[in-house]
Structure 1
Amino acid sequence: MKWLLCFCCISLVLFSGFSKVTQSVLVEIYGDLDRDKIDEKITVVELNEEGNDGKIRVLNIFKKKNNQWKLWHSSNTAILGSEGGGMMGDPFFDKSIGILNGVITIDHNGGSSWKWSTVHKYRLKNNEFELIGYSTHYGKLCEYWAEFDYNLSTGKINYKKEYETCDEKTEDSTISKVEDEVFYKKLKKLPNLKNINKVQIKITTPKYKEELIF
C-alpha cells in the first residue's frame, strides 16, 4: 500500500512538472542575424500558461554550435498574448514574423470597430536585439486614421492623421482634414527584444500634441 501511494505521489509530481512546460510551436524560421553567413533559428512558442492577455508566447533565438542548436536570446514580451488583440482576439493570428538583412520584423494587429496595427524591427547590436524601427496605424472608419513611423536609429518620426467624414446614404468617405508632421527624437537607450513592452515610452509631437506610446 505504501509503495502504491509513493508511486501515485511521484506520478502526480511528474505530471504537474510536465503540465507547466507544455507548449506548442507557432512559428519556426531561419535567417542570418549576425552577418556571419550562417543562419540562426527563431521559434515562437505558446505556453500552457495564462497571462494578462491570454496564453503567454515566448520568442526564442537559437545559434548553432557544434552542430547543435543552443539558446542565444529569449523574450516573453516581444509577442503579445493570445487575447491581446481585443475583440479581434489573437493579435498574432497570421504569425507575421520575418528576417530580412539581419533585421527581425514582428507584426501585430487588433481592435474592433477601432483598429490598430504595429510593426517592430530589431537588429543585433551590443549583443542585444535593439529596437531600430517602430510603426503603428490606428483609427476608425468615418472618424480618422493615424500613423506613426519611427526610425529609432536616426530619431526621425513621421506622423500623419487623416480625419474622415462619411455619407450616411452611400457610406462613401471623404478626407476632411489632414495633420502631417516630421520631427526628431533620439532616445538615450533603445528598447530591446527582452524588455520591450515592459517599460512604456511616450513621445508627444511638437506641433499637434499627438502622443506616440509604445
Structure 2
Amino acid sequence: MRWLIFFLLLTFSELSRAQKFVFPKLANQSKEVSRLIPKQWKLLDSAQGDLNQDKQQDLVLILEHLTAVDEDRAYGNYEVELITETQKPRILAVYFKKNGGYQLATQNNDFVLRSEEGGKMGDPLKNIRIDSNKFTLSFEGGNDWRWKLNYQFAYDKKQWNLVAANNVYYHKDSGEMVDKQYDFVDRTIKTVVGSIFNRNILNSVDEDILVFGSPRTLMDFKKPWTWEVTKDNYL
C-alpha cells in the first residue's frame, strides 16, 4: 500500500510539473477597470487616449501574474527552440471605450518583456503611452552595453500595425552609440552613429529606404528581438 501511495504521489508530481501555464481570457467588456483584471493578476501600467479616432478615451493595460511560473520564451525568432524560464507572465490588453464602458480590442500574451529580461538594469519595461491615436511601448536593459527599444502601434483595418520603432545600442561608459530609427509608413530607416553623450555633435547620420514585405502586426510580431527587419538588424 505504501508503494502504491508513493507511486501515485510521484505520478501526480510529474503531471503537475508537466502542465503548461494557461493565460486567462480577459473580460470582453466592463464599465469598471477593476473588473478587467483577472484573479491572481495585478495592474502594472496603463495609458488612456483615443486609439480608433472616435474621440473616446480608450485604454491600454499591462497586467502581471502575481507569482512566477515556468514559461517558454523565444529569442531570435519563433523557429528556434524555446527557452523555459521561471518568471511572472505579462499581458498587454487594449480596450476601446464604448457605450460608457470598455470593450476588448486585443489581448497579447507574448510581446511585453518580463521583469527578468532586462539584464543588470532590472525590469526592462519603462512605460506605455498613447499619442496621436497610437500607443508606444518602451523598454530598456543591458549591462555595460545597454539598449533602448520603442515600438509604436496604430489601429488600422481591425489590426494593430507596427508603424515606427527605435532601437538604441550604447556603452554606458564610453558613450559609443548606434541609434536606428524605423518608419514603417514612409519605409525609411535612419541610422545615427556616434556618442550618446553628444547626440547632436560629431554624429554621423545615414538615411536609407526600408525594404520589407507585409506590415508587422502586434499579433504576428511575437516579442522584441524576433524580427530581422534587414540583414543583422533585429527589432
Give the SS at the match of 1:196.
coil
1:152 touches 1:186 (CA, 8 Å); kept in 2?
no
| TM-score for the superposition, normalised by structure 1 | 0.74
**What amino acid maps onto 1:131 in structure 2?**
L
Q: Structure 2 vs 1, CA of residues 161 and 72 (structure 1 numbering), >3 Å: closer, same or farther?
A: same
Q: 1:119 aligns with which of 143, 150, 155?
A: 150
Q: 1:28 aligns with which of 46, 58, 62?
A: 46
**What amino acid maps onto 2:154 in structure 1?**
R
Whole-angstrom CA distance in 1 between matches of 2:169 and 2:233: 11
CA shift, 1:79, in A, is: 1.3
In structure 1, the residue matched to 2:185 is: 153
Q: Percent identity?
A: 21
In structure 2, the residue matched to 1:184 is: 209
Whole-angstrom CA distance in 2 between matches of 1:75 and 1:186: 27
CA shift, 1:34, in A, is: 0.6
Give the SS at the match of 1:87.
helix
Is 1:195 aligned to residue 220 of structure 2? Answer: yes
Whole-angstrom CA distance in 1 between matches of 2:129 and 2:166: 16
Q: CA offsets per residue over residues 157-209 of structure 1, 9 Å max, x none? A: 00122279xxxxxxx99xxx8553210123221111222245522413xxxxx
Give the SS at the match of 1:154.
coil
2:212 touches 2:229 (CA, 8 Å); kept in 1?
no
Q: CA offsets per residue over residues 96-136 of structure 1, 9 Å max, x none? A: 11111101011100011111101100111121110000101
Whole-angstrom CA distance in 2 between matches of 1:55 and 1:191: 26
Q: 1:135 aligns with which of 166, 174, 178?
A: 166
Whole-angstrom CA distance in 1 between matches of 2:233 and 2:159: 24
Give the SS at the match of 1:59.
strand
Larger RCO, structure (CA 8 Å, separation 6 or more)? 2
Give the SS at the match of 2:215.
coil
| TM-score for the superposition, normalised by structure 2 | 0.68
1:25 touches 1:45 (CA, 8 Å); kept in 2?
yes
1:119 touches 1:136 (CA, 8 Å); kept in 2?
yes
Give the SS at the match of 1:153.
coil
Q: 2:96 aligns with which of 63, 70, 75?
A: 63
CA shift, 1:89, in A, is: 1.8
Structure 1 unaligned residues grouped into runs of 5+: 1-16, 165-171, 205-210
Q: Structure 2 vs 1, CA of residues 27 and 70 (structure 1 numbering), >3 Å: closer, same or farther?
A: same
Structure 2 unaligned residues grouped into runs of 5+: 1-20, 25-38, 74-84
Query: Highest Rg: 1 or 2?
Result: 1
In structure 1, the residue matched to 2:108 is: 75
Is 1:91 aligned to residue 112 of structure 2? Answer: no
2:46 touches 2:128 (CA, 8 Å); kept in 1?
no
Whole-angstrom CA distance in 1 between matches of 2:166 and 2:214: 18
Q: Which has the higher strand share?
A: 1
Give the SS at the match of 2:89.
strand
